[in-house]
Amino acid sequence: MKFTLRLLGATWLTAIVVVAAFSFVSIQAERARMTEDFERRAWLLGEGLKEALEPAIEKGPASRIERIVKRFGTSTRGIAVYDRFAGLLVATPEVAPRLPPSLPFVSEAITTTSVKKGFESLGGRDTYYFAIPLGEDRPQGALVLLYDATPIEQRVFTLLRNYAIWLLVLGTALSLVMLVVVRLSITHPLGRMAEWAKQLRSEATLPPPGVGDPSLFGPLATELSGLARSLARAREAAEQEAMLRLHGQSVWTEERLKQVVSLRLNDRPLFVVSNREPVSHVWRGREIEPRTPASGLVTALEPVMRACGGVWVAHGSGDADRETADARGTLRLPPDHPRYTLKRIWLSKDEEEGYYYGFANEGLWPLCHIVHARPIFRPEDWADYAEVNRKFAEAVLEEMSGTESPVVLIQDYHFALLPRLIRDQRSDARIAIFWHIPWPNPEAFGICPWQPEILQGMLGADLIGFHTQFHCNNFLETVDRAIEARIDWEHFSVDRGQHTTYVKPFPISVAPEFVEDPPKGSRESLLSDLGIDAEFLGVGVERIDYTKGLPERVRAIRRFFERYPEYRERLVFIQLAAPSRSRIPRYHELEEEIGRAVEEINRELQTKRWRPILFLKAHHSHREIWPFYRWADFCMVTALHDGMNLVAKEFVSVREEEDGVLILSRFTGASRELRDAVLVNPYDIDEMAEAIRVAIEMTPAERKSRMARMRQVVKEHNIYRWAGLLLTDLARLPVEDLGARER
Ligand code: G6P
Predicted local confidence at residue 247, as pLDDT: 61
One domain, residues 147 and 224: no
Residue 608 predicted with pLDDT over 80: yes
Is ligand 1 within 6 A of the CB of residue 276?
Answer: yes
Cα(541) to ligand 1 centroid in Å equals 14
Name the average pLDDT for the chain: 91
Position 258 in a domain: no
Cα(442) to ligand 1 centroid in Å equals 23
Position 2 in a domain: no
Is ligand 1 within 6 A of the CB of residue 471?
Answer: no
**Closest residue to atom 16 of ligand 1, CA basis:** 276
Position 629 in a domain: yes
Residue 514 predicted with pLDDT over 90: no
Predicted local confidence at residue 7, as pLDDT: 85
Residue pLDDT, tens place only, 617-667: 999 999 999 999 999 999 999 999 999 999 999 999 999 999 999 999 999
Predicted local confidence at residue 738, as pLDDT: 46
How many beta carbons lie within 10 A of that of residue 237, not counting itself?
15
Is residue 222 a contact partner of residue 336, using CB atoms and an 8 Å limit?
yes
Q: What is the pTM of this model?
A: 0.72
- Give the mean pLDDT of 35-47: 91
Cα–Cα distance between 465 and 434 in angstroms, integer? 5
Residue 739 predicted with pLDDT over 50: no
- Give the mean pLDDT of 551-580: 98
Residue 653's domain is classified under what CATH number? 3.40.50.2000
Which ligand 1 atom sits nearest the alpha carbon of residue 412?
9
3-state secondary structure of 487: strand
- Best substitution site from 298, 367, 412 to test ligand 1's pocket, by max atoms within 8 Å of Cβ? 412
Of the chain, the end-to-end C-alpha distance in Å amounts to 74
Residue 143's domain is classified under what CATH number? 3.30.450.20
Is ligand 1 within 6 A of the CB of residue 653?
Answer: no
One domain, residues 543 and 622: yes
**Closest residue to atom 3 of ligand 1, CA basis:** 297
One domain, residues 536 and 679: yes
Position 318 in a domain: no
One domain, residues 143 and 34: yes
Domain tally, the chain: 3
Cα(626) to ligand 1 centroid in Å equals 20
One domain, residues 108 and 27: yes
One domain, residues 572 and 660: yes
Least confident of 93-97, 415-419, 593-597, 661-665: 93-97
Is residue 692 a contact partner of residue 662, using CB atoms and an 8 Å limit?
no
Cα–Cα distance between 189 and 416 in angstroms, integer? 57
- Of 418, 411, 413, nearest to 439 (Cα)? 413
- pLDDT category at 244 given cuts 50, 70, 90 is low
Is residue 359 a contact partner of residue 381, using CB atoms and an 8 Å limit?
yes
Q: Which domain, by its residues, includes 31?
A: 14-153
One domain, residues 670 and 592: yes
Give the 3-state secondary structure of 325-390: CCCCCEEEECCCCCCEEEEEECCCHHHHHHHHHHHHHHHHHHHHCCCCCCCCCCHHHHHHHHHHHH
One domain, residues 227 and 111: no
Position 168 in a domain: no
Which ligand 1 atom sits nearest the alpha carbon of residue 411?
9
One domain, residues 37 and 143: yes
Cα–Cα distance between 189 and 183 in angstroms, integer? 8
Position 163 in a domain: no
CA 460 to chain centre: 39
Residue pLDDT, tens place only, 457-466: 999 999 999 9
- Of 692, 369, 693, nearest to 553 (Cα)? 692
Position 98 in a domain: yes
One domain, residues 139 and 235: no
Cα(297) to ligand 1 centroid in Å equals 6
Cα–Cα distance between 181 and 173 in angstroms, integer? 12
- Best substitution site from 274, 275, 295, 435 to test ligand 1's pocket, by max atoms within 8 Å of Cβ? 295
Cα–Cα distance between 222 and 229 in angstroms, integer? 11
Higher-confidence position of 261 and 683: 683
Backbone φ, ψ for residue 314 (5° rounding): -150, 165
Residue 48 predicted with pLDDT over 60: yes
One domain, residues 599 and 705: yes
One domain, residues 133 and 242: no
Position 171 in a domain: no
**Closest residue to atom 9 of ligand 1, CA basis:** 297
Predicted local confidence at residue 311, as pLDDT: 97
Cα–Cα distance between 730 and 276 in angstroms, integer? 23
- Best substitution site from 291, 297, 435, 646 to test ligand 1's pocket, by max atoms within 8 Å of Cβ? 297
Is ligand 1 within 6 A of the CB of residue 580?
Answer: yes
